[in-house]
Structure 1
């Protein structure tokens, strides 16, 4: 089943406080490993995910700007914390707090990425993340092109961070991850 064939059910699945979703990807974002919890929430089996782009679980209401920020941060060799809304194979969705880090070779080269995701703080999503992501989606959808959409979304995030004197990770922690 191709991702674009999926519809949204509107049903939210929630992680228990002890749940931990783990995936590892190569440099291009293709899945190399997923734990049982990942497959349970994604609704796919290992044979359907290994070698496939991690965006197989991308929810269409997630701003592209957030993923651009994530990839730019990782490629610079830094870790990132971000709230992410994912989509299960059946169209359900589930929110996570993702901690994504580069994986390093013995010679100091980035060779892939490692992501741990856990149950998010629901109040933070409701009070801060939902409004921010809705604004980013509106900015992105009203732009003339995908390139303009990312530029406008990035400007909004950078202006927000500058106004608070914080990095993105600092903002996530200030909100109460």
Structure 2
């Protein structure tokens, strides 16, 4: 399966962030990259010129359910920050996992100008747990079809969180503390 925004073929080779590394990027309100740090360039394999001015989903891995990004945009558009685990695609087809924190970027006059994201290395246990959940979300998206799939998989994710006794934010934070 190929990434919709590129011709990169995923392969089963993981790159991992170091414990003390952070990936930082900024986008405009449409998700177009306006800033990225050197760690982002190094781990993704893309140069600054290849990232700037491109949609952030240039690194979207096909293993990610559409519902995860549906939830991300629901939260951001309502002015809330987003925490979540994301599997990203590298230029060479390999992948890397991050624990992402994405926040609205508001200027001094109170206008939304974009989004700011800081990503760090997630725990191995969090990746194992979220991988299973994302596979279930993918299956739900396939079951209900493309029009209703993203929201149906978000609903499944929220029910999974409730079954564990958490709301979404607390569930995500709990995964990295196991």
- The reply to whether TM is greater than 0.5 is yes
Aligned: 1:142 with 2:146: no
Q: How many residues align?
A: 174
For the residue of structure 2 that corresponds to 1:4, the secondary structure is coil
- Are the counterparts in 1 of residues 24 and 116 from structure 2 also a CA contact under 8 Å? yes
How far residue 158 of structure 1 moved from its aligned partner, in angstroms, is 2.7
What is the root-mean-square deviation of aligned Cα atoms in Å? 1.5
Aligned: 1:129 with 2:92: no
Which blocks of at least 5 consecutive residues in structure 1 are unaligned? Answer: none
- Are the counterparts in 1 of residues 125 and 175 from structure 2 also a CA contact under 8 Å? no
How far residue 63 of structure 1 moved from its aligned partner, in angstroms, is 0.7
Rounded Cα–Cα distance in structure 2 between residues aligned with 1:11 and 1:39:
17
Query: Which residue of 2 is the match for residue 102 of structure 1?
Result: 104
How far residue 4 of structure 1 moved from its aligned partner, in angstroms, is 3.2
How far residue 164 of structure 1 moved from its aligned partner, in angstroms, is 4.4
How far residue 165 of structure 1 moved from its aligned partner, in angstroms, is 5.1
TM-score by length of 1: 0.92
How far residue 160 of structure 1 moved from its aligned partner, in angstroms, is 2.6
Aligned counterpart for 1:45 among listed residues 32, 36, 47:
47
Q: What do the CA deviations read for 1:94-141 (whole angstroms, capped 9, x no partner)?
A: 001111111111122221100001111111211x20110110011112
Q: What do the CA deviations read for 1:124-172 (whole angstroms, capped 9, x no partner)?
A: 211x20110110011112223x221112112212323344453321111
Rounded Cα–Cα distance in structure 2 between residues aligned with 1:80 and 1:155:
16
Query: Which residue of 2 is the match for residue 170 of structure 1?
Result: 170
Rounded Cα–Cα distance in structure 2 between residues aligned with 1:56 and 1:49:
8
Aligned counterpart for 1:65 among listed residues 50, 64, 67:
67
TM-score by length of 2: 0.91
Aligned: 1:16 with 2:8: no
Between stretches 53-62 and 155-164, larger displacement belongs to: 155-164
Q: What do the CA deviations read for 1:22-60 (whole angstroms, capped 9, x no partner)?
A: 000000100000000001111111111111100000000
For the residue of structure 2 that corresponds to 1:12, the secondary structure is coil
For the residue of structure 2 that corresponds to 1:8, the secondary structure is coil
